[in-house]
């Protein structure tokens, strides 16, 4: 289930954002898995308009995979807030980026773990293989970032063509 929140957005951007989230979920998450997925997705015009307690409560730790007997498990619940971009097409691309990461974490392709001790590094797992602390992997070498870079533009273009281009 997707719960979509907005703050100070015009109705067009709100409708496009909500429609894009539903479309990306349907394209990236298998139908039987959609009922287990819970996404609270906030799209805001300006993140500085958010209450300070909300802004400070947005760590990347929300992407950590739960552990079961020491083994990382795919995530089922996500909470994230994203600020809209100047151009609507860029907002759609950013939404596609987020949904590709959500799908990777939900399907267990990407898992992030952290031992419960102070300043423990966040470990990255890809396709069931433990890689390294995430901070030790250059952004350009992260397989999930390569996936995002390859797939996001295609997904965003597909959405724009299907829902936003006027028929010829």
The Cα–Cα gap between 66 and 104 comes to 14
Q: How confident is the model at residue 58 (pLDDT cuts 50, 70, 90)?
A: very low
Encode pLDDT of 61-101 as tens digits.
467 888 888 888 898 998 888 888 889 999 999 999 999 99
| DSSP-derived 3-state class of residue 162 | helix
Task: Retrieve residue 90's tokens.
Answer: 């860029």
Domain ranges of the chain: 2-163
Encode pLDDT of 109-165 as tens digits.
999 998 888 889 999 999 999 999 999 999 999 999 999 999 999 999 999 999 887
């Amino acid at each position: 289930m997707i719960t979509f929140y907005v703050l100070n957005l015009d109705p067009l951007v709100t409708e496009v954002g909500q429609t894009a989230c539903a479309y990306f979920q349907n394209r990236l998450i298998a139908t039987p898995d959609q009922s287990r997925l819970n996404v609270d997705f906030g799209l805001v015009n300006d993140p500085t308009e958010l209450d300070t307690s909300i802004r400070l409560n947005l760590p990347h730790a929300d992407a950590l995979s739960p552990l079961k007997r020491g083994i990382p498990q795919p995530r089922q619940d996500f909470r994230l807030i994203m600020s809209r971009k100047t151009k609507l097409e860029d907002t759609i691309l950013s939404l596609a980026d987020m949904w590709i990461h959500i799908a990777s974490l939900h399907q267990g392709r990407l898992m992030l773990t952290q031992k419960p001790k102070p300043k423990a590094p966040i470990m990255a797992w890809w396709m069931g293989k433990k890689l390294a602390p995430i901070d030790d992997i250059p952004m350009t070498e992260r397989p999930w970032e390569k996936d995002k870079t390859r797939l996001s533009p295609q997904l965003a273009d597909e959405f724009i063509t299907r829902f936003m281009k006027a028929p010829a």
